Chains A and B, each alone.
Chain A
Amino acid sequence: MTRRRLQLVGLWSGLLLVMAFTLLPYAWLVISSFKPSVEIFTQTPSWRIHEFSWRNYQWALGPTGADLGVYFWNTIVAAGSTAILTAILASMAGYAMARYAFPGRRILAMALLLSPMFQGPPVMIPFYRILSALRLLNTIPGLVLVYLSLTLPICIWLMAGFFRGLPRELEEAALVDGCGPYGAFARILLPLTLPGLAATSLYAFVVAWNDYQYALILTSSTNAKTIQMGLAELMTFFGQTNWGGIMASGVLTTLPVVLIFMFIQRALVQGITAGALKS
């Protein structure tokens, strides 16, 4: 009995420590974003807000301040297009991977699993060259073209997982009823994976929204710069003077992805762990 109690105390204090480590830096960001400058640049930092203010947020979005609207719009367009294209390609490919045996399947599965390992710096220079050759540097379509390489492999895995969860009898029944294989896919199975498809495309949206490294090399003006680039510029220009504004901008950038993620977490987590751990 006492040992059980000791165990519980250990568990709860462990949980408390981990959650404090996870959330306190975050809380500090949010709290600071509501403070006026005098409270931010102070020698004795306080967790209480004395004079609550929206001014930092007005500065982040307003035309006289950081004016982040255009960056947000670029990001919504880029991440939205990435999500839609990913949904189309990944549902087709995921269905093939889940339901068919064909020569080359194992190699493809391996390639999908390994492709995240070659993201970032190894392919930065080639990506720059490809988009330059296609005349797509500093354009949103160019960004989308690159972002698909981030989202597609893992989303194919996710979709394959969702399709595997459906009973095979469904297709058999559809085929008997005279649907072709594509009809069975498009009219019977796809609608049944809609929740999974929604989670997958929202995940793709979050991945594209969060990208910094590719936007850094592939965009150069408000024509295509994403919100992450906008934030990076704020850091460069106002890093010494307006931390409140920077932090409000950071909160605004994070809010959509955290909300989306909380919403899709359950459907996603299972797929992601299954994809990485089992092949």
Chain B
Amino acid sequence: MTAVRPTERMRWRFGAQVWKHRVPYLLLLPSVLYLAGFTLYPILNVFYLSVTDLHLVKSLVPHFVGLRNYVELLRDDADFRGIFVNTLVWTFGSTALQFLLGLGTSLILNAKLPGRAFWRGIMLVPWVTPIIVVGIIWRWIYDGNYGLLNYYLQQSGLIDRYVVWLADGRTVWPALLLASTWKGYPYMCLMLLAGLQTIPNEIYEAADVDGASGVRRFWYVTLPLLKPVAGIVTLVALVLTWNNFQMIWVLTEGGPAYATSVLATYVFTKGFVFFQLGSGSAVAGISTLVVLLLCLAYGRVLRIEERNP
């Protein structure tokens, strides 16, 4: 009897806690249940599937195979190394370009210009454009026979012969990164603008009094004050780009061969082109581990922010 009591009391206290906060808990219940099933469970589930032989045709019921999928990827898969390197190029290249253009644009749109709200709205158009349409737009610009890019580059004498931008291993990455910058810079710009707006005007006035202006004002006043926001935005963008399957898929489908395959597209190729769901899950598992590390960094940055507001 006496041994049961503490647990009973704990249960009672837990119940009392829930009862005390029943209003928010009840309001949150449907959302939390849904997110447990459709956000948390899939993330955990992919790690489980990655140690099975699940196959869309051969093995519809998963059997445990240990780390076989991982070993095969890391040791036997001749393409995997290149794909991992591609992922780094893609993630850092795309994020860096989006950041630079986003930063430049945010500085312009933060200045007192007539029609500022209008320009900000226009700037966001690529961001809301469906990814397939982004694919249509840029595939047509890069077209090897009728594309605008070829036409203008030849007119200006920069190339002699038309280039099939998306099928040539040497040009496909720059082409992809340009399109991705177009699609992604508005989001970056939006966030940086929000960051710029938190910098109080008095600081600029003080800088003016001290005779700092232009480049020096940007370097010594704006940039340091923007750093916390820029850090968070960059981390978020890194993760979103890391997982960005759609942009690459609509332009190159990871090709030519595996030239523009990244982990995100390789999950799809493995899982839904070759039907190797287990092996595809292992790719997703490796990819998600990296994301988790980045998220830890993100959490850490946020916590530092909280301490020094």
* Residues of chain A whose beta carbon lies under 8 Å from any beta carbon of chain B: 3, 7, 11-12, 14-15, 18-19, 21-23, 25-26, 28-29, 32, 40-45, 89-90, 92-93, 95-97, 99-100, 102-103, 105, 108, 110-112, 114-130, 145-146, 148-149, 152-153, 156, 181-182, 185, 206, 209-210, 212-213, 216-217, 228, 231-232, 235, 239, 243, 246-247, 250, 253-254, 257-258, 261-262, 265-266, 269, 272-274, 276-277, 279
Contacts and interface: CB of A to CB of B under 8 A. Distances in A.
B137 A26 contact: yes
A25 B149 CA distance: 11
Interface of B: 17, 21, 23-25, 27-28, 30-32, 34-35, 37-43, 45-46, 49, 54, 101, 104-105, 108-109, 111, 113, 117, 119-126, 128-133, 135-141, 145-146, 148, 151, 182, 186, 190-191, 193-195, 213-214, 229, 232-233, 236, 239-240, 243-246, 249-250, 263-265, 267-268, 271-272, 277, 280-281, 284, 287-288, 291, 294-295, 298-299, 302
Given A120-B264, A122-B43, A22 B35 contact: no
A40 B145 CA distance: 11
Given A123-B46, A250-B137, A22 B182 contact: yes
Contact of A231 (B30, B40, B136): B136
Question: Residue among B17, B28, B113, B214 with the most chain A CB within 10 A?
Answer: B28
A73 B78 CA distance: 44
A277 B229 CA distance: 7
A34 to B, nearest CB: 14
B75 to A, nearest CB: 22
Question: Residue among B27, B193, B298 with the most chain A CB within 10 A?
Answer: B27
Given A29-B137, A121-B287, A145-B38, A22 B232 contact: no
A15 B135 contact: no
Given A217-B268, A235-B136, 5 more contacts: A22-B122, A118-B43, A126-B43, A212-B250, A250-B132
B246 A93 contact: no
Given A100-B24, A102-B24, A126-B42, A121 B104 contact: no
B124 A149 contact: no
Contact of B132 (A90, A117, A235): A235
Contacts of B105: 14, 18
A12 B113 CA distance: 8
